[in-house]
Structure 1
Amino acid sequence: MNHFVRKTICAPLGWLAGLLLFLLSSCGTSRNLKQDEYILRKNVVKLKTSQTYADKSALKDGLKSVIDQQNNTYLFGVFPMKAWLYNLRYKAYERDSTNFQVRSRIVEKPVVFKAATIPGSVKKMQSLLTNQGYFNARVSTSQDTSRRKISVVYHVDAKDEFLIDTVRYDVDSSTLQAIMQPEWEEKTLLKESQPYSNSLLGTERSQMVLLAKENGFFKFNTDNIQFELDTASQRVLRNKKSLVENAANAFIGKVKNTRPTVSVRAIVKETEHYDAFDQFVFRNIYVYPEYNDNEAFYNTFKYEDTSKGVIYRFKNAKPIVRKNVVLSKIFLKKHALYKQSDYNNTLLQLNDLSIFNYGRIFITEDTFFNEQGQHYLDAHIVLNPGKTYDFNTNFELSGGDLYLAGSALNASVTNKNLFKGANQLSIAGTYGFELNQTKNPDQTFFQRFYLMTQNFGLNTKLIFPTFLSPFKFNGNKVSIPKTVFSLGGNYLDRSNYFRIQTINSSFGYVWKSNTWSTWQLNPLFFNSLRLTNVSDSFRVRLNEVQAIRNSYQENFILGENIEFIHNTEGKRAGRHTFLRLGFEEAGMLLRGGNSLLKGLSGKGFSFNYANYVRLDFDVRRYFTRTNRSLVFRMHGGIGVPYGASKTLPYIKQYFVGGAYSIRGWGPRLLGPGSYYNPALQNSNDRLFIDQSGDIKLEWNAEYRFRMIQLFAGAIGLHGALFADAGNIWLAHKDENMPGAEFAFNKLWQDVALSTGAGLRADIGGFLILRADWAFALKKPYLLENSGWVIDQVDFGSKQWRAENINLNIGIGLPF
């Protein structure tokens, strides 16, 4: 029987393989080459450098990017699919170079090697290395020929990276030198032992200009600064950029511990701006709040009013926005020195008022001087008013941890100038539903889908563009906190099981402490939950499992929370960090009120309220290169119920599994801990409402890479390899759920691990459709071999694939 199977399967496969080889050989990329022509197979950069391991890859990518002649795209680095497709219709594409498939790069013309491009590539590499501080670098080339294909090898000996030794300033103005040189020296980026690069020098030049403009030197610019380099110094220094990594590399003999140095001389002198070394102050500040595009704003106003040194000019007797609202966003002051930060923050704050389409500042030079000989400036602030009301509807498609696919219809109306104070009042309504899918093999693909939830919601939000508080707040100029009030209600129908009505409200503030960091503080929020229409089957689960009963009990939540987000994306090329920390407490105020009421009347509150403390975290590290990226994430949280509460409220609990979590398991199938109920967790209807917990820990790693770009890059097909680990736990032991509670001595046993691969279709850079296939490597509910099941992996078994490979469909990247 086995012999028959092998024969019936292998014979067609042999024919198919033979046919494929015939097609590949007959339509290969070198088929249409002329005599002495070769296909450029690939460019190889062999880099020898004393650079640390962390930056070597980035340098290598940069060197590859400047090569003039790039090879064809190769699928998985092996097969030139686009060039092969081009050769299938070679004559047609050669006759019509404007063909849509050629222009959209669905196909690629085979790249014929041109030796004349090599010298230019070498020159660009040499320039890039010099710009990075490798002044003694050498680049040579060689060629490897195989049949009709050539690989060009660039041998790059970067030598030693130069470090900065000393920095000296020559300033051609005693006034400028007295005011600015101490600050330049204190805040310079050109620190001793810092690796030299042209980009660092450019950043230093920009910072010197910014610091000068902060001190009133309005016309000072980068043309006033030149740098001279001196590499003749015999001094050597240790690189301070990464002490730990350098020490480790030096220990194993990979990186030299000392480097040659370069001295920098900053020359500051006047150019055509003879007054670049003079300070400027503001004489008049004008505001035009009804500006229309391209109009002569200085002679179209009818009314004028002066307040706090600012001249307010408007066309109508009643301004669109109250004057004090606009004036509170202006940091330019009469008779004050020009400061670039005041200019930038004024624009930032004014453009943050949603009633205006945009704000601009025109600065003109006055012909007068003050007593100190400083020049006068006039600032003309123009504001273009927008529509007061904004109507919006949208239709959403989504995927999530708890469901396979979802859709929602949203409609909203916003008044962007309530009470003429640039306050925003938004009223939004929504209807959505979520679909899930069973694994019943007796059903067709579409029959497996079922309606999991329906959701109706109405929410209102009121945002004041200022800090409302009984206490005075001295905020920074980067971002004055916005005050946010919200109130909403939601109705959730979990088909055939229960319905939940919730009401929520909050009062808080949102502000940015700097360019990269955002805070949100809610001194007060509440949620109320009411459970109705409970089915008999779900009521059985409520009665059987105390954790579920506590999660779904009718509850009132009153508390406060704070969230901090730090995102350095865009701060440094090639890598950035995302950090989110959140803290929430509920019940403390109500416990105090309950105790007070008992003391006065002998009776406390007649309703249940939640008592818990919850801490959440999400840390991500992104390493990005031209065609690939590596991402690490650690996230989770802990919620500790106290007082009369035994577990977190349902809406505050944690879940794992699904397309955005541990992908080897479906949504909410894993945990808590090592708890496992085969009858429920292997059910075809996939209703596992009870798989939630009070504690969550999760680790993820994902390597992403580009595969094929279609339609001139409009659609990109990308791949990914990933691994996920983690679980959820209960904070307190539950006799009905053995192994569900958290304990350090069984943490290793409870951690689940899965791995897999995925495909992502990036449509125009705004929509990513994702499919991830994953399977478990470690199952915490199996005690044998600590839960490891690697030895059971069998890709050749249809049964194993059906039972273990989990397909996750999602929209957007998982993190």
Structure 2
Amino acid sequence: MPQKPVSRQVYFTHILVLLAAVYLSACSGTKRIPEGDALFTGFTVKVKGKNDSSNRQSEMETELSATVRPKPSGSILGLRPKLWIYNTFYTEKEKGLKHFIMTKLGSPPVLISQVDTGSVSQVMSNRLHNRGYFNNSVSSAITSKNKKATIQWTANVSEPYRIRKIEYTLNDSLPIHKQIKQAQPESLLKPGEPYDLQNMTNERMRIDGLLKNKGYYHFTPDALIFSVDTMVGNRQVDMLMRLKRDVASRTLKPYTLDDIYIFANYSVGDSLSVSDTLSYKSYHYIPNEDFVRARHLLRNVFLVQDSLYTRQNHLLTLNRLAGLSAYKFSNIDYKIDTLNNDKLDAFIYLTPAFRKSLRVETQMVSKSNGFAGPGVTVSFRNRNAFRGSELLNVDVTANFESQVGGRGTGTTPEGNRQSKQQQGLNSYELGTQVSLTIPRILSPFELPNLRTEFVPKTRIGLGFSFLNRLAFFKMNSYNASYAYNWRPRKTLTHDITPINLQYVRLSNTTEDFEERLAENPYLRRSFENQFIIGSIYQLIYTTQVYPDRTSQVFNSLVLDGSGNMINALNSLRGVDKPTQDAPRTLFGQNYSQYILANNDFRHYFNFGKESQLVARLVTAVGYSYGNSNTLPFVKQFSIGGPNSIRAFRARSVGPGTYNIPDELSFSYFDQTGDVKLETNLEYRFPISGFFKGAVFVDAGNIWLLRDTFDDEGNLNKPGAKFNSKTFLNQLAVGTGFGLRVDVEFFVLRFDLGIPVQVPYLPKGQRNVLSDFDFSFGGETGMVLNIAIGYPF
């Protein structure tokens, strides 16, 4: 014990020396600055407007700051690692390792001489003018010290000019003038609002969009022009919007669709002959149905002969066709009909994707149950299996895994009954999964074609896996499913699996495992051979489809139920009520009955292009009843690991304050629960090039809804039951930091977790941060998580 503080002091000394070295290295960032010049390190923009009633000073400062070019040399906590790398590895050579590091990971100094303050000030003045500040002045001042310089821009503005009235010159009798007039009530330009050039541009775009959906195919925003009178006095302007006088006649008339040609097997360089044409429901299908049948493809075409051209139907058709797996590219072109110049002929070009592919992947598998190891997956894909753009996937997998979860540190506790064969808990898994995704809803009922830009899908799955947990058991799992997926809009996805079948069969159990099942009835019931027959519904809402938003949310709600329909049918048949010792069966095997809900909510706060703060909350509960006393083992919750609480190994926490005995510390199936609560907070930031960093705080635990007892009536897991009054004090808490190698298509993640609160320790000893000793292992040691992809 006396050596522990000394050890920590040595570690802290090393860290301080390292930080000092980095700081001193960063201070050398000015060594390559030419004499008489300085490193451009930062700037400020201040907008002063005492008489400005629009209260837009802060908004304008942000907008004007974006105009500064070039940007100053970037820094993190006052340090400039990219500049330090550039200076450290500087070379005149144009190739080699040093050149690669200098150019890819480093960044050259930004000199104050490179900043044209006069030009930047003029751009700022123009921006202010466009926002209604016609009388403005912008000045700049440079402050330089020790070869480092900053710039302060000051913009002086007064009350902006405001709109007094808006008029549309629409005296012509052409229908287009009436259409524009009808759009005026929803105008983005309002009397009394400040003059804003961007709003005027947006108003032209708005009218263009409305007219495009009224048949005006050739109309463009440039056909509209604004005249602005700034001489009406009292800082007001009058606006006049009209059509240009020299607009082409085709711009001013609506079009309807005539012939629609679909080139269903188009390749660049095709002659585009229409002589070999199949007529199907007024469409010209070229050349034939050898690739994709017309009746399947036309469910995704919303262009109809003799209907008015609309941009909405055009984009809807393009998006739906792009969602078909059989095609790589899709495009639609229009030409004025040769016989009727008020009509358009539509030409749809579809370029096929490679129909079949075979892919082999080797991977490092890391599972929520604490197993990790190498694996291989062989995937066959047919993107047009039955000439309806059906996607057929056949995956064959083989994984070899070793237990890395639990609290085991690699040595068997004294007195543990575990044999040498069991150490490491090696296992292997073989499996195959077949899935067929059909780009339409298959239903016994006639359903209308959904007008959504995303292709509705029917998904059929069938699979088998064989799992061999050496020294414990073998397990065969069979699954079959029938599901629907559709997205009514970008932010919302429904995925419903009305038929979800799974059968799990345990075999070849070892004597040691049988002893554990005999000692723990709860565990025994979890591993019973059983059917899972039910339905699953998942609802996903996300605003991440809008990448430019500062604030984004993601929420996934999963509702899962099993056995309810079968149990109801058995009740109607008069089958005896199920009991703990005599549950109802299906084909001689038990079936599970439960309901489960799992909600995963995430909030992303984006700071700039690469910095991000992410908050996450996971809540889940599963309740078994009727024919089951416990949830199936495959449905129970666990916590800890690289995508959960990273300061604890997978399945090493809970349930509740339950402290797993030493003889089970190498296990993986005793720390599961019916209730789960997890929350994470992570700040992500750039370091240099494709190196990213993160700091995080994780907290959570799992609990049981019921106490469990052995055959003698003794409590199996003390402290495991959920209590609404004490659960917050039972959370496992960890913190840490991480390094990510993000090369866009691949992210390799290293997260170092540090435990803060350990719930299974006695009260008063759960906060272990003060005993942190920089070691790996034990309740106070660090945990290194190596994973692929971001945790959430």
Q: TM class by shorter-chain length?
A: 0.7 to 0.9
Greater mean deviation of Cα atoms: 648-657 or 775-784: 775-784
Residue in 2 aligned with 1:312?
285
**By how many angstroms is 1:660 displaced?**
0.6
Cα separation, 2, equivalents of 1:453 and 1:159: 75
Greater mean deviation of Cα atoms: 487-496 or 65-74: 65-74
**By how many angstroms is 1:493 displaced?**
2.2
Residue in 2 aligned with 1:807?
784
Structure-2 change in CA distance of 1:736 and 1:488 (3 Å)? same
Residue in 2 aligned with 1:581?
557
CA contact (8 A) 2:299 2:449 kept: no
Q: 1:532 aligns with which of 498, 507, 519?
A: 507
Q: Secondary structure at the match of 1:608?
A: strand
Residue in 1 aligned with 2:210?
211
Cα separation, 2, equivalents of 1:610 and 1:390: 39
* 1:27-65 Cα distance to aligned partner (Å, 9 max, x none): 9333454543323333345688999xxx99998776555
Cα separation, 2, equivalents of 1:261 and 1:552: 79
* 1:699-747 Cα distance to aligned partner (Å, 9 max, x none): 11111111112xxxxxx22211111122212222223122222232223
Cα separation, 2, equivalents of 1:693 and 1:131: 61
Cα separation, 1, equivalents of 2:19 and 2:702: 51
Residue in 1 aligned with 2:293?
322
Structure-2 change in CA distance of 1:135 and 1:347 (3 Å)? same
Residue identity matched to 1:357? K
Residue in 2 aligned with 1:247?
none
Cα separation, 2, equivalents of 1:660 and 1:69: 39
Cα separation, 2, equivalents of 1:366 and 1:352: 29
Cα separation, 1, equivalents of 2:371 and 2:159: 54
Greater mean deviation of Cα atoms: 750-759 or 596-605: 596-605
Residue in 1 aligned with 2:755?
776
Residue in 2 aligned with 1:402?
369
Residue in 2 aligned with 1:628?
611
Greater mean deviation of Cα atoms: 505-514 or 270-279: 270-279
Structure-2 change in CA distance of 1:462 and 1:192 (3 Å)? farther
Cα separation, 2, equivalents of 1:163 and 1:675: 68
Residue in 1 aligned with 2:725?
745
CA contact (8 A) 1:647 1:732 kept: no
Cα separation, 1, equivalents of 2:170 and 2:367: 60
Residue in 2 aligned with 1:220?
219
Q: CA RMSD in A?
A: 4.4
Residue identity matched to 1:28? S
Cα separation, 1, equivalents of 2:524 and 2:232: 76
Greater mean deviation of Cα atoms: 60-69 or 739-748: 60-69
**By how many angstroms is 1:155 displaced?**
5.1
**By how many angstroms is 1:279 displaced?**
0.8
- Aligned counterparts, 1:8-157, within 5 A: 24=25, 28-44=28-44, 64-74=65-75, 76-87=76-87, 92-93=91-92, 100-101=99-100, 104-114=103-113, 117-127=116-126, 140-154=139-153
Cα separation, 1, equivalents of 2:94 and 2:286: 65
Structure-2 change in CA distance of 1:799 and 1:632 (3 Å)? closer
Residue identity matched to 1:182? Q
Cα separation, 1, equivalents of 2:354 and 2:312: 30
Residue identity matched to 1:152? I
Cα separation, 1, equivalents of 2:102 and 2:15: 37
Cα separation, 1, equivalents of 2:549 and 2:702: 35
- Aligned counterparts, 1:642-681, within 5 A: 642-677=625-660, 679=662
* 1:765-814 Cα distance to aligned partner (Å, 9 max, x none): 121121222223333335635x7627x52556769998332222221111
Structure-2 change in CA distance of 1:84 and 1:355 (3 Å)? closer
* 1:439-483 Cα distance to aligned partner (Å, 9 max, x none): 24899xxxx994644221111112222221121212422245222
CA contact (8 A) 1:172 1:269 kept: no
**By how many angstroms is 1:195 displaced?**
9.7
Structure-2 change in CA distance of 1:275 and 1:43 (3 Å)? same
Residue identity matched to 1:558? I
Q: Secondary structure at the match of 2:116?
A: helix
Structure-2 change in CA distance of 1:271 and 1:565 (3 Å)? farther
* 1:244-268 Cα distance to aligned partner (Å, 9 max, x none): xxxxxxxxxxxxxxxx999976545
* 1:364-396 Cα distance to aligned partner (Å, 9 max, x none): 101444xxxx81111122333444433232223
Q: 2:313 aligns with which of 342, 363, 367?
A: 342
* 1:399-424 Cα distance to aligned partner (Å, 9 max, x none): 44433744332222233333433333
Cα separation, 2, equivalents of 1:740 and 1:173: 80
**By how many angstroms is 1:272 displaced?**
3.6
Q: Secondary structure at the match of 1:727?
A: strand
Residue identity matched to 2:759? P
CA contact (8 A) 1:793 1:800 kept: no
Residue in 1 aligned with 2:737?
757
**By how many angstroms is 1:82 displaced?**
4.3
The question of 1:695 aligning with 2:645 is answered: no
CA contact (8 A) 1:398 1:811 kept: no
Residue identity matched to 1:753? V
Cα separation, 2, equivalents of 1:534 and 1:813: 37
Residue identity matched to 1:698? E
Cα separation, 1, equivalents of 2:757 and 2:533: 40
Structure-2 change in CA distance of 1:168 and 1:556 (3 Å)? farther
Residue in 1 aligned with 2:391?
424
CA contact (8 A) 1:223 1:271 kept: no
Cα separation, 2, equivalents of 1:767 and 1:198: 42
The question of 1:611 aligning with 2:593 is answered: yes
Q: Secondary structure at the match of 2:440?
A: coil
**By how many angstroms is 1:672 displaced?**
1.4
Provide the aligned length of Structure 1 versus Structure 2: 758
**By how many angstroms is 1:567 displaced?**
2.2
For normalisation by structure 2, the TM-score amounts to 0.83
Structure-2 change in CA distance of 1:480 and 1:146 (3 Å)? closer
CA contact (8 A) 1:467 1:480 kept: no
For normalisation by structure 1, the TM-score amounts to 0.81
Residue identity matched to 2:67? V
Cα separation, 2, equivalents of 1:57 and 1:435: 56
Cα separation, 2, equivalents of 1:368 and 1:358: 30
CA contact (8 A) 2:585 2:591 kept: no
Residue in 2 aligned with 1:502?
477
* 1:671-722 Cα distance to aligned partner (Å, 9 max, x none): 11222225267x4x4x33221112212211111111112xxxxxx2221111
CA contact (8 A) 1:414 1:427 kept: yes
CA contact (8 A) 1:760 1:770 kept: yes
Structure-2 change in CA distance of 1:360 and 1:20 (3 Å)? closer
Structure-2 change in CA distance of 1:527 and 1:163 (3 Å)? farther
CA contact (8 A) 1:657 1:666 kept: yes
Structure-2 change in CA distance of 1:498 and 1:336 (3 Å)? same
Structure-2 change in CA distance of 1:629 and 1:128 (3 Å)? farther
Residue in 1 aligned with 2:381?
414
Q: Secondary structure at the match of 1:276?
A: helix
Greater mean deviation of Cα atoms: 425-434 or 58-67: 58-67
* 1:227-259 Cα distance to aligned partner (Å, 9 max, x none): 567899999xxxxxxxxxxxxxxxxxxxxxxxx
CA contact (8 A) 2:260 2:283 kept: yes
**By how many angstroms is 1:600 displaced?**
11
**By how many angstroms is 1:511 displaced?**
1.4
Q: Secondary structure at the match of 1:334?
A: coil
Q: 2:703 aligns with which of 703, 726, 729?
A: 729
Cα separation, 2, equivalents of 1:795 and 1:158: 56
The question of 1:789 aligning with 2:767 is answered: yes
Residue in 1 aligned with 2:417?
none
The question of 1:381 aligning with 2:355 is answered: no
